[in-house]
Amino acid sequence: MQHNEWILDVLSDLKSFATANGLNALAEQLDDTKLIAAAEIASKHEEALALANGRKGRFGTHPGGTGRCQRA
């Protein structure tokens, strides 16, 4: 398990508790929260890999050597 993925388990446990206790709106919100957390964790992981591979994240130097360009 990666460094921050434990939070996904916590959110799942909270959702299970909410569902078991009839807190349906909270359970739905926690489901959405888990999706957002998973997306952010994945994004941070990709960013760390890019930095480890010598890239500067989403912004890098323009191939011509001047200015900056945004990578997709």
In a domain, 37, yes or no: yes
Number of domains in the chain: 1
In a domain, 1, yes or no: no
Structure tokens of 34? 């888990």
Tell me the pLDDT band of 2, cut-offs 50, 70 and 90: low
Position 23 pLDDT exceeds 90 = yes
In a domain, 32, yes or no: yes
Enumerate residues 6+ apart whose C-beta is below 8 A from 57: 47, 50, 51
Residue-number span of the structural domain to which 26 is assigned? 6-70
Structure tokens of 45? 């992981």
Distance, in Å, from the CA atom of 46 to the CA atom of 36, rounded to the nearest integer, reads 15
**Per-residue pLDDT, 3:** 81
In a domain, 43, yes or no: yes
Structure tokens of 10? 């916590």
State what percent of residues in the chain have pLDDT above 70. Answer: 72
Residue 57, CB-side half-sphere exposure with 13 Å CA sphere:
6
In a domain, 62, yes or no: yes
In a domain, 33, yes or no: yes
In a domain, 17, yes or no: yes
Write phi, then psi, for 45 (nearest 5 degrees). -65, -45
